[in-house]
Amino acid sequence: MTKEAVYVALNKIFSDIFDEPITLFPETTAKDIDGWDSLEHINIIHSVERRFGMKFKMGEISTMKCVGEMVDIILARATKG
């Protein structure tokens, strides 16, 4: 699975959750997206986990700083394309 494919999938997940077209970049953080608060964070994590057939560790959930970090974890652990 390529990085690009992950971004395409993530863009779709985020756009669905926030109900508007969103394009993510590696350096995108919660501050950049209006409404990405700690509760939405749970929704995002949940959707990403289902989409890629993987699990985040609790430490990762609370310490990942930007989308880039999330993508790295997905690439390392994804079981679904």
H and E: helices and strands count for the chain: 4, 0
At 49, the amino acid letter reads E
Contacts with other proteins, 38-77, as mask; x by CB under 8 A: xx-xxx-xx--------x-xxxxxxx--------------
Distance CA 55, CA 50 (A): 8
For other proteins (CB under 8 A), the number of binding residues is 19
- Shortest Cβ distance from residue 39 to other proteins (Å)? 5
Cβ(17)–Cβ(40) below 8 Å: yes
* Residues of the shown chain interacting with other proteins in the complex, contacts defined by CB under 8 A: 19, 34-35, 37-39, 41-43, 45-46, 55, 57-63
